[in-house]
Structures are given as C-alpha cells and as structure tokens.
Amino acid sequence: MVELIEGGYQLTAQQLVPLSPADLLDWLCQPELMRQWMQGVGRVDVVDGNPCSRGCLTTVSLGMHSPFGGGEWNLTGRIDDIGPARLVRTYSMQTFHSGYTRTVSYDLAPDSVGTLLDCQVRTKIPGLRPRAARSGGKGEEKSLRHSLTLLSRLSAGERVAPLRRFISVSSRSPQAL
C-alpha cells in the first residue's frame, strides 16, 4: 500500500519467508545475500562495521534505466536498530538529492512455517510534490513486492533463471531495501 507523507511516501508489504527470524536476518543484512533479492541492486559493500550490527555502514549501488540512458546511483545505508525481531536501516544519497532519506523497517514474527516479514519503507525527498510521490510510490510498491517474493523463493532454495530475473528487473524500479 502507498501512503503519502509530507515530502514523500510510505510503502508497506508483508511476505511469509520459510526461515527462522535469526536466519532471515542474515538475508536482510549480509551483502552477498542482499544483492541476490533486492530489485535492481548491482553491488552491496560494507563500508564500516560488521554487516549485522548496529551502526554498520553499507553502500548499495542501484542500476538506473530510462529512455534517456542509464546510470548508477549509490546510497549509503546505516543500521539504526537490530534485534531478534527487528531491523531498521536508513539510506541517504549524497550526489542526487541533498536531504534524501529512505528508512526501511523490518519486523519479523515467527510463524508455523517460517517468519512473517513486515516491511515498511519511508522515502522523503525535499520538494517532492504529491503527484510525483504517488507515481513513484506505485512503481516502487510493485518492486517491493517483487523483491520480497524473490527473497522468499531464494531463501527456500528455489532457483530463479537469470534471464527471467533480468526481464522482471528491467521493468521495475530499483530500490535499496
């Protein structure tokens, strides 16, 4: 669901993942695992700290595609809170929008077949108009759902054909999660 907030938008989605909360946390904070399921992410690199610890800094490189060309955006993520049932990471972007922030919160609830993952994404961009926020949010909502579905499938050991993954990625918004 897309909800407009002052200067941005908020997305929420849920996904059942066939892992324990402890194992799922690895998929949410280990760079080599994050890169596999996040929509449009080319690289995830640890800049400072341990990957699954408070204060860890990472750089996430997003591949951007448009009719006018492509490029790469780098976001810096910082783990603000981490525990057995919660992870909160805040991203900032220094090069494109001064003041851009994206806060991603994961709440993990044990379930009989794994973990119910509740994901909330709050994106704020100074000067963003409601119409642009609504449009951008709708595209990102589809990408969020796709990323969480991919997380569930890959963590269950399913194989996803590289070509099929590329085709599905090229039509969705890349996003740091």
The CATH number of residue 139's host domain is 3.30.530.20
Residue 55 included in any domain: yes
pLDDT of residue 64: 63
Structural domain for 134, as ranges = 2-170
Q: Is residue 149 part of a domain?
A: yes
Q: Is residue 176 part of a domain?
A: no
pTM of the model: 0.89
Q: What is the domain count for the chain?
A: 1
Q: Which residues, in sequence order, are CB contacts of 132 under 8 Å at separation 6+?
A: none
Q: Is residue 175 domain-resident?
A: no
Is 177 contained in some domain?
no
Rounded to an integer, what distance in angstroms lies between the CA atom of residue 148 and that of residue 33?
13
Given a cut of 50, the residues of the chain with pLDDT beneath it are 67, 164, 167-171
User: What pLDDT is stored for residue 42 in this prediction?
Assistant: 86
Tell me whether residue 143 is in a domain.
yes
Contact 119, 110 (CB under 8 A): no
pLDDT of residue 19: 98
pLDDT value at residue 40: 85
